[in-house]
Structure 1
Amino acid sequence: MTKITVSVFILTYNQEQFITQTIESVLMQQTDFAYQLVIGEDCSTDSTRQICENFASQYPNNIKLLPALDKNIGLIANYMRTIKECDGKYIAICDGDDYWIDKYKLQKQVDFLESNPDFSIVYTRVRKLFPNGEFKESVANTKGRTTNFDDLIFDNYIPSVTTLFKNIQNNQNQLPKWILKYPYGDWPTYLWTIKESGKIYFLDEVTAVYRVDIGESFKIRKKVSAIVKTDLLITKDILIDLNFAHKQKIVEEALIKRKISLMVRYNREGSYWRALKLFFYNLQYDLQQNAVTKMYFYSLYKSFK
């Protein structure tokens, strides 16, 4: 059996208008190693499943289409079952409504990780595609070429469609079940991957297109406060997860900053009662009382202005 170097996992549900382009963008990859597509199709009600089956029959050595489901299980449950089926040394993500535009994407990223074993994740720029057909490239990276866990815990700056990361999953190191509580799993997966060691590298090239304002995660992203709150709750679970015990100090710092950020966001969105409750909570339990007070009243002022 051919050894798989990269598993590309694709999650898809009711994406008949996009899934062909997604799969073809992966199949166009030119590499000197073997890679597979692992497709998790979540009981679509359109022709998505049939399209995936057609590709799987044409490329049986490249595509691993997971068995059909009796009912829709949702994005994160589908994420967890699909990532478990990835056999490669590395994993790449390409959601069913996104696609790659660089046919050497995987080769470049694998070459880097193979030559730099102290790195565990590599990602690139992304081109955003808006519903009106307009393209816009992501802004310049402000994090630097090399980052690590202590940077990523504060902000998920990695576009999932561009990333390649080490597959560290095994019976003793499976992703934590608490991820199932949340609407997305990429950021917790990256943090899990580098919790012990491993740096992150930014490859300053555009390799993929991300479709904006569509997809399963779009609902939560319509309100910034919903994203901040979800990240805050994820940070709380990381804090109490013993696998991250050696990172307690930096995780606590990230948790405090997210509480302040959520308070500010509530004021900006006009949820003043929620902001006020969080303000008093932060004053009672956090050490950065001056920063909390300053940010609360400043955000309140800006919301009225």
Structure 2
Amino acid sequence: MATWQGDPDKPVVSICCITYNHELYIEDALEGFLIQETDFPFEIIIHDDASTDRTADIIREYEAKYPKLIKPIYQKENQYSKEGFKFFFELLKSCNGEYIALCEGDDYWIDPKKLQVQIKYMQDHPGCSMTFHASNYVDAISSQLVKRHRNDTRSRSFSMDELILGGGGLVATQSIVFRSIVVRQPPDFLINAPVGDYPLVLAARLSGDVHYLDFTGSVYRMNNPISAMGKAQELSPALYVYRYSKIAAMLNEFNLATHGSYRRYVRLKSSQIILFSLLRAYKQLRFSQRKKLLQEYGNCLIVLHRLAAAIFIIPFMPDIFRVCIACRRFVIGFLKSTYRHTPCKSNRA
């Protein structure tokens, strides 16, 4: 804060943090915000969605230390359970900055120059509506590094088809910084979506460039049972597929909003999403239940994915399929080896 230039009451960036029952993690998130070294003022808008643990108490402790910086919203009733992610767009109205940076309460930032680098790029490139960067994925239980999520080996802008096909896992949510104008009048596909980050990235690309900066600035915690992904794993197979079908529905709504400009990519990605959820649900279902799910969602699949879903509907087919693949590889390998070591016989005398 000592390096800030400009009026502290007019933040350039609003850090928007949603939290629920993150007492084990919220301090890491807050400390990641506080270590940021910028030449511009920022604010921290933190929304506690009626946590039942000590999350709100920890936020209050930080609020007492940094009353002008940390601006909490304490809910008495859980908003996500009432209206899904629609509350998120109401929350964004509380953000005063020209730019909004995202980080959920169980994730955190590790690079003190993160905000400065992203904002500098966007100020230098007025046509850029969003930036994101690489992120480390760690296990929420063991704190062990699982993988390094690096989108490319260099900084570059991503096309709309790459963002559609990349899905929600392409852009790490806690790495996102976007212009607030993107959500000033959010499109229906964004408001009605069952998730917040994936459609937000698509909406940003409609407004300008979405640019990847090749540095690691944050940590995403995997396998957290409290997170949206963690809760999804606990759903019944039918509800699990239904949840992902809503994401496919969001893409179809996006397709209408863009007058079919990206129809090909939307159709392919929607089908991939449904197929993925079906194959995951199949593991817990009997044949008759698998058949019922396929009948319900089969029309959402392209022909190739429908064939794959039909093959895997039979309980023992995956094993047969794997055996066939292994046999094919063995035969091809054997033939290549035989051909490679068989001397060429000339017909000449």
Which of these two proteins has the greater Rg computed from alpha carbons?
2
Counterpart of 2:271 in structure 1 is: 259
Residue 58 (structure 1) aligned with residue 65 (structure 2): yes
Question: In the TM superposition, what is the alpha-carbon distance from 1:297 to its structure 2 partner?
Answer: 5.6
Do structure 1's residue 69 and structure 2's residue 81 form an aligned pair? no
**1:230 and 2:246 aligned:** yes
Structure 1 letter corresponding to 2:294: A
- Look up the SS of the partner of 1:120 in the other structure: strand
Superposed CA offset, 1:190-248 (max 9, x none): 222232x311111111111111111330212568856642320211222344xx33xx2
34 and 263 in structure 1: CA distance in 2 versus 1, 3 angstrom threshold: same
Partner of 2:261: 249
Could you list the per-position Cα deviations for residues 140-195 of structure 1 after superposition, in whole angstroms to 9, with x for gaps in the alignment?
4259722133322232310001111111157xx42246645544212222222232
| Gap change, CA 1:136 and 1:263, over 3 Å in 2 | closer
Q: Which segment drifts farther, 136-145 or 19-28?
A: 136-145
Aligned pairs for 1:174-213 within 5 A: 174-176=185-187, 179=190, 181-195=192-206, 197-213=207-223
| 1:82-97 map, 5 Å | 82-97=91-106
Q: For the Cα contact (< 8 Å) 1:221–1:227, is it kept in 2?
A: no
Q: Is the 8 A contact 2:204 2:210 kept in 1?
A: no
Tell me the equivalent position of 2:172.
159
| Aligned equivalent of 2:294 | 275
Q: CA-to-partner distance for each residue in 1:57-85, whole Å, 9 max, x for gaps?
A: 2212211212x323111262442332221
Matched with 2:330 is none
Q: Which residue identity lines up with residue 46 of structure 2 in the other structure?
A: I
2:88 matched residue in structure 1 = 79
CA offset at residue 120 of structure 1? Answer: 1.4
Moved over 6 A (4+): none
Shift of 1:114: 1.0
Q: Secondary structure at the match of 2:142?
A: coil
Q: Is the 8 A contact 2:63 2:71 kept in 1?
A: yes
Letter in 2 for 1:213: N
Aligned letter for 1:146?
Answer: S
**Cα contact 2:134–2:217 (8 A) shared by 1:** yes
Q: Indicate yes or no: 2:161 matched with 1:138.
A: no
How far the C-alpha of 1:127 sits from its partner, in A, is: 0.7
Partner of 2:181: 168
Q: How far, CA to CA, are the matches of 2:255 and 2:32 in structure 1?
A: 38
Say which SS state the counterpart of residue 211 (structure 2) adopts. Answer: strand
Give the letter aligned to residue 104 of structure 1: K
**Larger RCO: Structure 1 or Structure 2 (Cα < 8 Å, ≥ 6 residues apart)?**
1
TM-fit CA distance, 1:122 = 1.1
Matches of residues 286-301 of structure 1 in structure 2 within 5 Å? 289=303, 291-292=304-305, 295-296=308-309
Native 8 Å contact 1:264 1:299 kept in 2: no
Amino acid at match of 1:42: D
Is 1:117–2:126 an aligned residue pair?
A: yes
Residue 46, structure 1, aligned to residue 53, structure 2:
yes
Gaps of 5+ in 1: none
Q: Give the direction of change, closer, same or farther, for the CA distance of 1:184–1:267 in structure 2 (3 Å limit).
A: closer
Q: How many residues align?
A: 291
C-alpha offsets along residues 67-119 of structure 1, whole Å, 9 cap, x if unaligned? x3231112624423322211111111111111111010000111111112222
CA distance in 1, matches of 2:309, 2:15: 43
What is aligned with 1:15?
22
Amino acid paired to 1:106: L
